[in-house]
Structure 1
């Protein structure tokens, strides 16, 4: 009986083991679309193997094999100390090479972004520093420099001394761009003397008419930092930054023009102190005049967005722009709105901003008789108000989308609320 029982059990156990082996074998022989292989696996011989999107695989050393030429750093690779690292702006890939005899070897945590030709550096986050080098066409991250004068802790101490605000300098902050994009940033409050000096030199570099490659790299750098509140403020306070970008926005290079206006948007967005500092350059007037000159939809959107983030929620700027004894901004907006073949998207944005500009709830000034809030629309002439009433009327000619009608109706409600248009 036992013999029969064991005779029955042995084949069953054997079959189960075989099935397990077969299952494991199938798992590693299935196509990538069916298997569950990790994106990168470290092999026993210190190599990294990856399954690519097309189903093929590649293997390379786990330790980066540096030479005297820049090579791309592969996923999961480990870097030896003291390498020269850069971001290839053409490919977006991080590259590394051996440090040459003319470069200083140091700790791998100390990194620098090369921008121009100054010995001063701007301390950024996590001991990374922005450095200006002499080679005009080189924009690199130098791995191994040990001459960074200000570490993150020093920046934080300077911030507390300057603002009285304490906080984690490495705490991630979500930066919401005016164009709708959101990216993470780490930033401490306040810049020290060395950072301010070098940052000013970077801005001054814009006025030296660098070649196109160097110019675009400087603009790339500025776009990355001015969305952070204190860099935005110092950018607006600089004697070089806004005038240089206004000159670039008046130029013929469409790529440079678009990049420059995006930097303005980033610096001014949700930054009242930067908006106030920029007012001495007449920024809102210059942005409006530049907006009027744009002929393609992309640049119309970019310039109107920059104008909008600079003036929206900025009561002083709204009143200054709207004053009928000054720039006559609301009158200019009417004239622009009535242009032939103006894209509906731009009309919607103008109507939306117009509603924000005349909303009495935004204003702290009051009528002495009724104690009611007084909005910017009261600075406009009677003819200008009449034109806005026509534009916001349902009888305005044309067939429009729901977003247009909603922006138009809001404008009319705000005008009627202040007794400026017939009900």
Structure 2
């Protein structure tokens, strides 16, 4: 019950932050438009009315679009001057500056704080120290250090009920705090913090493993601490976080906890060339391929977690093979990833056909919709690999025949998830 309240608070804070960002963006845009109009230039962006914006591209063509970005379950480009509603999953190409967004799904549940990715100006502001208030800054840092000390000391103790309760309380507090950059830096710059997280997350790290609740929360906090922060990624990378998390994921039998290990790995690898090289070199792509969550589901509860893990793996794979997320990957690393593209194309095709049972066999409309969501994710990931690696990602004639039959089989019922699945299949068929 306590954790649910904490997540609800995080979601509320994310919503408030996103609303604030949208309000500030709107005010800033209006100021820029007024200033440009005063100077006799709008640089191609004109405010037509309260609902519409028109933008002039470099070729002189004018495009008009809604003032407020309209999100779907697919990533779409955010046009110049558009307001971004709260609660979206936003991606930024660090090379071109292009921004894309889509609706959040269950695979994004652990990344609420990333629902709106801040602009560079906001990132710079997040690095500033807190407002000076007599005694407040020192007291807060001291409390943070107390949590860090308890984390490090308890991680090397033998697991028991008292230690477990203490760790859950500490990890819960840290989970709330590390979404602020200054707290994440204070945490990971402590010499014993990363090794403590890795020891807690890995069920094989000692003779007695910590409960799954501790393991998953430990990986969750580590991932939240390093995401989108290259300096902190470096600290965790040098502390051998990649091999440790791969080992933990390979031996952890709890599906939900394995998903948190993948979340931490994704946060470490994204945008960090060295981590990506090590991940591929240590067999990370092969390990993800060998994981078959749906085969491990033995009851209804496990099936729910298996669907979530299956989605998380596919999302992670799609990101790994997307050069936008790792723009500075060395040539040898890019070659290593490309070699795995053919294997993963075949793996995704096989899972799309075989490892996902017929939608009609699912119990209830909600379960059927969930199946369509997962199948759509597999199809989109396969299309992404085929577009990025056309020489190595070649689908078989049998798969093409299945694809055409599957498009004809999906009912034209007006169901949104079914229509999105049909669209993903159609794009894959081209």
Q: Which structure has the highest helix share of the two?
A: 2
Q: TM-score range by the shorter chain?
A: 0.3 to 0.5
Higher strand share: 1
After TM superposition, the score normalised by the length of structure 1 is: 0.48
Greater RCO (CA < 8 Å, at least 6 residues apart): 2
